[in-house]
Structure 1
Amino acid sequence: MTAMKTASGSSANLFQNLKPYVFIILLQFGYAGMYVITTATLKNGMNHYVLVVYRNLVAAAIIAPFALWFERKNRSKITPLIFFKIVALAMLEVVLDQNFYYMGAKLTNASFSAAFYNILPAMTFMLAILLRMEKINIRRRRSQAKVIGTAITLVGAILMILYKGPVVEFFWTVGRAQHHPAAAAAAAASQGGTMTWLKGTSMLFVSCISWSLFFILQSNTLESFPSELTLTTLICGIGALLSATVAFVMERGNVKPWIIGLDMRLFTAVYSGIVCSGVAYCVQGIVMKERGPVFVTAFNPLCMIVTAIMGSIIFAEEISRGRVIGAVIIVIGLYFLIWGKSNDHLASKKEVTDQLPVAMAATNGTKPGCTVSPTTHIEIPAVTNP
């Protein structure tokens, strides 16, 4: 019986330790699907302002019932400061990040836009250090691993952006690229639009900065408003209203872009809303409260690899040697960064364990005129990873 309890406890602990990794890895596959289908939909003429509005309306409508039901008893109070943070989150992620990403992806392609986002972990890490949300002790190996991993990841991302090299042929792309319409359009764009490509890259950079700031602010907001479902609903709802205002101004009241049918445009809005806004914000919030924003963004390079493979198979997008070499370098950097973050988490748990005997000794210590009941309970607060 004791052996069964021990096995059950160890299995539960194993699941608890693996849960953040499983959630974030699955989320990267969801983002990869979004990168591919939205790029194709935008190149086929869908208005990106309208897509942002529909995406977040879908997300708010899907998550709101769950927020009302599961958080009805323990929902945190919305103070003016928290409301201001929620509006700022909606502006950063929904209005700025999504619109600039869609414009950049439309001017480049799915695999390049996903590859460019590999600078996200390094950018988030540097911002977290500046805002003192991430602690660095350069004498410790785990801190050294995080710094080295961030630097390697950044080098790999820059290599992918600056160095193209010859096209790498895979067995599923032999003979397809020159006949595939999407690949032909991409080749024509790359030959005649260097300025267009640079413009798209600059838009992706603005999008990346906005998303990184969103992660930082989301982590901070969850400390005082730990209701992930309600927070997600409010971000998407307010973001949809702000984006609708931007869309009406930019389109000058033209209603034609808003009309969509039962086609790829509707599927893109629903998929992006459910998976990449509704589910993604909730999952990121859950993992972020335990491991911090740097851990969440550290897995972003995995999305690039999945997107490149999917884009190559579905749309015959070319994969150059530079992107393959850069991907290998990024994976190495990712390993260092995750190793450092994992050891941070173990160290924080060890600090809690080490504090327990000290706290008990301090409570049970005898002083003249003081009596302590032997049934005194001591509650040790959880330590959140910086």
Structure 2
Amino acid sequence: MEGRRTGSLPFVGMIMVVLVQASNMVVTKMAMSDGLNKYTLAFYCNALSSLALLPCPFIISRRSGSCPPLTFSVLGKIFLLALVGSASQICGYAGIDYSSPVLGTAMMNLTPAFTFILAVISRLEKVNWKSSSSQAKVVGTIVSILGALVIILYKGPTVLCSHSPASLVHPRHLVFLLSRQLNWVLGGFLLAAEAFLLSLWFIIQAYILKDYPVVLNIMFYLMFFATIFSGLLSLITVTELQSWILKFDARLIAILYSALVAGVFRVTLCTWCLKRAGPVFVSMFKPLGIVFAVGLGFIFLGEKLHLGSLIGAAVIAMGFYAVVWGKSREEEKTVEGGSGVDDGSLPSSSHKVPLLQSKRLSA
């Protein structure tokens, strides 16, 4: 029973990661609509996260005598990881600013495809096209992406409507509507770039964790370097002093939530799950985020809930469970075949703690 409970922890952890990510998109959208600058938001979030993680290197180095040394090579990889992560963060904030949290979580469904391609290229993932488990993972990912496309391309009739009155379309509003459409397209491209950079971020993390498997230390140096990057970018792009002044309002709450919950908690938990289950497993949970975003967007942003959103969410759920089944089946075969011997390869989603431990191990 203990083994089964331990094996399910990455599954539960990734559910929490995706829920926090979707809620963070809604919170930041509300704050940016209230006037919060996306560049100062990135800087304050990274700086606060760095301060929260500052004690970790000292505590871990004192209490863990087996902690590996932080070499210049590992530090350089963390520096690269922070650069990629900062670029992904800025693209994400800008994309949400131009579009909506629903589109943001929908575009994150590109992450499994990007990660899968990068993992195969870097030999982190192997695919056996004759295996039913591999087929289920591939088909589940495709089905999840198709479900996201349904939400984007097909709205359908309104199922639930917010209390805010619908705005009428007049001829003088056509230019404004065209501008909104262009912003939506630009936001989509920025969010697609975020998905690719996030996939690359997963791959780089997997290499770092092989040489230096100390998650909290990695997170501190990652946030420290990201603070430097976002601070330099903010100083160049933000010239108004008013954008740097914080007051106790929704913008400050958004910064605290993004830094402590979506930053420290979510990223650390995501890195721990990646260490246990591999980069492809982590990326497979991205399609589930749109289900949370649709509900949160309706509740807190007053967005209408359309029939297309419900159909797309159902399709995503089917693809999601197909991926989970394929993952569980693959890992059960790995355990039964006794292939858990460490061969020095990098962490792969195919050779980690099973989601559903076999009854033989839990006995």
Whether the 8 Å contact between 2:91 and 2:193 is mirrored in structure 1 is yes
| 1:167–1:230 Cα change, 3 Å | same
Higher-Rg member (1/2): 1
Partners of 1:300 and 1:276 lie apart in 2 by 15
Q: Shift in Å at residue 243 of structure 1?
A: 0.7
Partners of 2:45 and 2:108 lie apart in 1 by 20
- Give 2:254's aligned residue: 268
Whether the 8 Å contact between 2:28 and 2:254 is mirrored in structure 1 is yes
Partners of 1:196 and 1:341 lie apart in 2 by 38
Alignment match of 2:285 (pick from 296, 299, 324): 299
| 1:314–1:215 Cα change, 3 Å | same
Letter of the 2:81 counterpart: L
Letter of the 2:95 counterpart: G
Whether the 8 Å contact between 2:298 and 2:305 is mirrored in structure 1 is yes
Partners of 2:344 and 2:95 lie apart in 1 by 44
Letter of the 1:139 counterpart: K
Q: Shift in Å at residue 189 of structure 1?
A: 6.5
Q: Shift in Å at residue 69 of structure 1?
A: 1.4
Stretches of structure 1 lacking an aligned partner (at least 5 in a row): 1-9, 181-186, 356-378
- Give 2:114's aligned residue: 123
Residues 83-112 of structure 1, C-alpha deviation per residue, up to 9 Å, x if partnerless? Answer: 22111111111x211111111111111222
| 1:76–1:306 Cα change, 3 Å | same
Letter of the 1:81 counterpart: S
Higher relative contact order (CA 8 A, sep 6+): 2
Alignment match of 1:40 (pick from 23, 30, 52): 30
Partners of 1:211 and 1:380 lie apart in 2 by 27
Letter of the 2:130 counterpart: R
Q: Shift in Å at residue 272 of structure 1?
A: 0.9
Alignment of 1:1-386 (within 5 A): 10=1, 12-72=2-62, 73=64, 74-93=66-85, 95-169=86-160, 173=161, 176-178=163-165, 192-252=179-239, 254-352=240-338, 384-386=347-349
Q: Shift in Å at residue 131 of structure 1?
A: 1.7
Partners of 2:189 and 2:211 lie apart in 1 by 34
Report percent identity of matched pairs. Answer: 27
Q: Please give the root-mean-square deviation of Cα atoms over the aligned residues, in Å.
A: 2.5
Partners of 1:188 and 1:78 lie apart in 2 by 55
Partners of 1:334 and 1:126 lie apart in 2 by 19
3-state DSSP of counterpart to 2:209: helix
Whether the 8 Å contact between 1:177 and 1:317 is mirrored in structure 2 is no
Residues 174-216 of structure 1, C-alpha deviation per residue, up to 9 Å, x if partnerless? Answer: 5x13179xxxxxx996565211111111111111111111111
The two structures have a TM-score, normalised by structure 2, of 0.87
The two structures have a TM-score, normalised by structure 1, of 0.82
3-state DSSP of counterpart to 1:352: coil
Letter of the 2:250 counterpart: M
3-state DSSP of counterpart to 1:168: strand
Letter of the 1:341 counterpart: K
Count of matched residue pairs: 341
| 1:71–1:332 Cα change, 3 Å | farther
3-state DSSP of counterpart to 2:8: helix
Partners of 1:310 and 1:40 lie apart in 2 by 12
Stretches of structure 2 lacking an aligned partner (at least 5 in a row): 168-173, 350-363
